[in-house]
Amino acid sequence: MDNALEFSSKGLAVDLGQYGEWIASAAVSGLGVTQTNVTPGYPSATADVSNAQLLLQKNTGVAQFFMKAGLYSFPGLGTPYKRASFYTNDTYGYIPQVYAAYVPNSNWSALIGKLQAMGGYESGFTYQNLNIARGISWAQTNVITRGIQVNHTQDKIALSLTLNDGAYSGKYNWLGASASYKMNQSHQLDISYVGSFSPNNANTFNTPLL
């Protein structure tokens, strides 16, 4: 897969009057895996639903909303494939993303909820990614974080600041900041930082101790 999928902005739109227009869309995909050098305990061939998700959003007005619900898997290069049911239960649950946004004008926005993590080149969900199977180093980056994020755009400059729980630990001790400058239609300069400001001893599949 060479490019991340782009969802149509039309989708299934429902106008709820004073509550604004809400748009629903879906992401459904499957995959098949076969290999000769099998990790012990895993089959040499398997097929699975890699995504079965409903996306619901309201992206107009001062009060906005986004929710993603359903199954997903995160195939990674050099690692045995774990089924979507495992990843959904042991990572971010059946609602991996949900947030509310306050958007007073076109320059400012503030988000709170389960957010796409700041930092890292590769997204977790396969239809958002340039590669179906992420590289080995992607596992060292956060995918979904719970917290808040403030964004500001002005002409060619975009700034973001976030406070969150990092690798989904439940401890809100991570800070992130990013800045970008659009030089022209073909070139953009980006810089970002994410990191924790205190230790954390959570140790789960989703938040490994190290």
41-69: per-residue pLDDT in tens? Answer: 888 899 999 999 999 999 999 999 999 99
In a domain, 76, yes or no: yes
Residue 40 counted as domain residue: no
Give me the pLDDT at residue 13, please. Answer: 80
Our count of domains for the chain comes to 1
118 in a domain, yes or no? yes
Confidence of residue 168 (pLDDT cuts 50, 70, 90): very high
Instruction: 182-186: list long-range contacts, CB under 8 Å, 24+ apart.
Output: 182/156, 182/157, 182/158, 183/156
With respect to residue 73, please indicate whether it lies within any of the assigned structural domains: yes
Has residue 46 been placed in a domain?
no
- Provide the residue range defining the domain that includes 172: 57-196
* pLDDT at position 3 over 60: no
Residue 126 has pLDDT above 50, yes or no: yes
Classify residue 204: in a domain, yes or no.
Answer: no
Predicted local distance difference test score (pLDDT) of residue 6 = 56
Task: Name residue 193's amino acid.
Answer: Y
Q: Say if residues 117 and 144 touch (Cβ distance below 8 Å).
A: yes
- Do the domain assignments include residue 51? no
Contact 24, 15 (CB under 8 A): no
Q: Is residue 12 part of a domain?
A: no
Radius of gyration of the chain (CA): 18
pLDDT surpasses 90 at 21: no
- Nearest residue to 48 via CA among 13, 67, 69, 74: 74
Range with the poorest average pLDDT among 21-30, 130-139, 140-149: 130-139
Which segment of 26-30, 133-137, 174-178 scores lowest on mean pLDDT? 133-137
Per-residue pLDDT at 2: 39
The SS3 assignment for 138 reads helix
Q: What is the pTM of this model?
A: 0.86
